[in-house]
Amino acid sequence: MRWAPLDHPEGMTNQPAIQLTDLTRDFGRRGGTSERVRAVDGVDLTIQPGEVVALLGPNGAGKTTTIDLLLGLIAPSSGSAGLFGDEPVRAVERGRVAAVMQTGGLLPRLTVGETLELVADLHGRLPDVPEVARRAGVDGILRRRVVKCSGGQQQRLRFALALLPDPDLLVLDEPTAGMDVSGRRAFWAAIRDDLARRPDRTVLFATHYLAEADEMADRIVLMSGGRIVADDTPAGIKATALARRVRAEVGPEVDEALRALPGVLELTRLGRTLDIRTTDSDALARHLFAHTNACDVEIAAEALDDAVVALTSGGSR
């Protein structure tokens, strides 16, 4: 057997990049009442090196808290988080992990170039600063003061800072929040270029947008109410998310058989009006016409964003 010291990356090649086990975090309710909020509720998640994973969910789903826990910025109430088999704080200290958070972390009076030089010095290595600036798309604004940069330019600078230690894991918390469409495009193009150069880099990013997750990620972890409610490829998530709504007028005696049909996700009824979400509207319509006396049958596609809301509703706070 080949011996590799615990501190050496070779000793960790088989470790997941991220391992969250029954991770839970409670907060006191904001405003000081004694009520508590369970922001993250028993999350189990394993992400292997090289995966690009989107953490998708509505406001308050628990994405930021999960990221804060896995970076060791806050402590779990119970359960554990590990990065490459190490404690999060140690993995961050060793430069294996870097993050792009939504706000903070920049000194407004410095220029973009000074910020990069300062942080490169702090890392105590000699990263190729001009090359990193080019890859993050800030090479054209090195002399601009941070305070004069747009939100999108500041996010690209945070991305450049995160690239300086050449981390094995890059964590991005809603990195394009507040950017316009062209800013978003430029940001994700920079990430894509980076991944083309280092395909073994693991990337975890939080987003509200299914389209963004679909475009960038190999895998989507859908969160709602502090829990993981789906974990699949973008195609798998879309097959579930992009359900159709079938409406019909029919009595309740058919409900049990309809629930058992393939693809039926949700069945609600108001009197004789039946409303069904299904991923297989053809099978449902065939059944309604062949085996029931249903009338006024309507089939409608669900909008992408409505679909994510439907998938995550019931749990968000």
Q: In the complex, which residues of this chain contact ligand ATP (CB under 6 A)?
A: 27, 30, 37, 39, 57, 59-65, 208, 317
Single-letter residue type at 214: D
Token pair of 66, please? 């999960």
Nearest approach in angstroms of CB 62 to ligand ATP is 4
Nearest approach in angstroms of CB 264 to ligand ATP is 29
Do the Cβ atoms of 315 and 224 come closer than 8 Å? yes
Beta carbon nearer to ligand ATP, 63 or 184: 63
Nearest approach in angstroms of CB 59 to ligand ATP is 4
Beta carbon nearer to ligand ATP, 60 or 95: 60
SS (H, E, C) 256-290: HHHHCCCCEEEEEEECCEEEEEECCHHHHHHHHHH
Beta carbon nearer to ligand ATP, 70 or 146: 70
Beta carbon nearer to ligand ATP, 41 or 51: 41
Nearest approach in angstroms of CB 186 to ligand ATP is 22
Nearest approach in angstroms of CB 41 to ligand ATP is 10
Beta carbon nearer to ligand ATP, 96 or 184: 184
Give the residue among 313, 87, 302, 97 at the shortest CA–CA distance from 203.
97
234: CB partners within 8 A, 6+ apart: 213, 214, 217, 218, 219, 220
Beta carbon nearer to ligand ATP, 27 or 289: 27
Nearest approach in angstroms of CB 185 to ligand ATP is 21
Element containing residue 38 per DSSP (H, E) = strand 36-47
268 vs 256: CA distance, rounded Å: 12
CA angle 239, 242, 244 (to 5 degrees): 115
Nearest approach in angstroms of CB 53 to ligand ATP is 15
Helix (H, G, I), strand (E, B) or coil at 181: helix
Beta carbon nearer to ligand ATP, 160 or 216: 216
Strand order in the sheet with 264-270: 264-270, 273-278, 244-249, 295-301
293 vs 249: CA distance, rounded Å: 9
